[in-house]
Every structure is written in structure tokens, then in C-alpha cells.
Structure 1
Amino acid sequence: MESNAMTSYKDTTPAARLDNQTLNKMVWRSCQLQAAFNYERMQSAGWLWAILPGLEKIHTNKDDLAASMTHNMDFLNTHPFFVTFVMGIVLSMEQQKTDIQTIRSVRISTAAPLGGIGDALFW
């Protein structure tokens, strides 16, 4: 993580629960996870596209939203069938305004193993 990057959000008030319309929008967007696949960040663009409706509802502070979008563009590689599980964990942590480094660590530590498990089961 860069030294000038935020380590926690400015607004630390937990966000309200996401409505079903937003959750459904994110599920449909998650089907396009690999549409913007690239070898530098793998699925990160598709990940951000899928999770963005939730992040916009959670982070009403523009600086917090920008910080969240930035760290959600980190390298990500998981199995497309299991991405919604990872999204649920990350969004829950984002709602609670958990420390950014913790969110990043949990995202990677859940996404990567699910990628390997999913590949073994489905491919």
C-alpha cells in the first residue's frame, strides 16, 4: 500500500443495510466479472464494476468512496461462481467501515483460495 493512501475512512459511522434492488444489481453485474480481464490486475475491473452499486450506497463521503474504489482495484483473482461470496464479506466490512488494510487482506485471503477450489471443482 502506498504511504500516502488512506488507512481508514473519514466517516466511520456504520452504513445502513443494502436494499434488495442494490443487491440484485450487484449479482447481475458479477456475471460480467471477467469481461474486463487483464493480466496486470486480473478481475479487478469487473470486481469494482460489480461491487460499485453497494459502495456508492455505503460511502456517502466522496473521499471515502474514492478510497474504497481505489483499494477495490487491487489485484483480484477468484472463481466467477464464488465471487458473490467474497462480495458479501467485503461489503459487510465496508458497511462497518472496517480498517482499509483489513478489508484488503480479507478480500485477498478469501478470493484466492476460492479461485483454486472453484477451478478444481468446476473446470
Structure 2
Amino acid sequence: MVFNIPDNYSNQTPAPQLDKKTLNKMVWRSVYLQASFNYERMQAGGWLYSILPGLEKIHTDKKDLSASMAHNLEFFNTHPFLVNFVMGIVLSLEQNKTDIQTIRAVRVAAMGPLGG
């Protein structure tokens, strides 16, 4: 089954700031970034696991959440110590409901140089 990722989210209303509890949960989850490492998507499973609490708060629409989860499950590989920096950038773009292609491009552009 193939999920077609849309270009934009259906709900374009910017999300409120994430609370400290959610941010802390994401930081602690980032420890498990490499727990589901594989050679096809590298750290993508751990990446999605890390940012999922934030995505659930940002995207109240189920279709938007599934689109966000789908494009965040694509190939991802960076240095585990610097992943929180990339998480902050990506979640900021997600909060502002930036178009999905831009979010993907920024994620890819940030993960490469920080990969070490």
C-alpha cells in the first residue's frame, strides 16, 4: 500500500508553541534514535519516534498527521548528539505548517553536514 504525500497540509493554521513536557519527552526519546537502525532508511524509525509527541500536538487533523509521519519516515541519518538541533528546525517548520517539500528539503540539508 502506497501513501501519496500531499504538497501541503489541509489545515494551514499555525500550531501553538509546544509545552515543556512535550519537548522533554522528545529529548528523552531521541536517546533511542538508533534503536531501529536499518540499511534502507538508517535512523528514520528512531527519528519519527523522537518527534512523534510534537507532531501529535501540532497536527490535530489525522490526514495531516499521517502525511507528516510518512514524510518523516523517509531516509534520515545524522550524528546522534546533534539530532535535537535538526528536531528543533523541523518542528518549527511543522508548527508554521510550511509546505511539505520545504520541510523535507530543510531536513535533508541539515542532516548531511551534521552527520560528521
Which category of TM-score, normalised to the shorter sequence, fits these structures?
Answer: over 0.9
- Aligned-residue CA RMSD in angstroms? 1.3
Aligned pair count reads 115
Give the distance between the partners of 1:33 and 1:17, measured in 2 at CA: 24
Give the distance between the partners of 2:39 and 2:112, measured in 1 at CA: 15
Q: Which residue of 1 aligns with 2:101?
A: 101
* Corresponding position: 1:36 with 2:36: yes
Matches within 5 A, 1:1-123: 4-116=4-116
TM-score by length of 1: 0.91
Report the 3-state secondary structure (helix = DSSP H, G, I; strand = E; otherwise coil) of the residue aligned with 1:70.
Answer: helix
Give the distance between the partners of 2:103 and 2:50, measured in 1 at CA: 17
Give the distance between the partners of 2:26 and 2:19, measured in 1 at CA: 11
Q: Percent identity?
A: 68
Amino acid in the other structure paired with 2:19: D
* Unaligned stretches of 5+ residues in structure 2: none
Give the distance between the partners of 2:94 and 2:104, measured in 1 at CA: 10
TM-score by length of 2: 0.96
Give the distance between the partners of 2:49 and 2:112, measured in 1 at CA: 19
Asked if the contact 2:10/2:64 (under 8 Å) is kept, the reply is yes
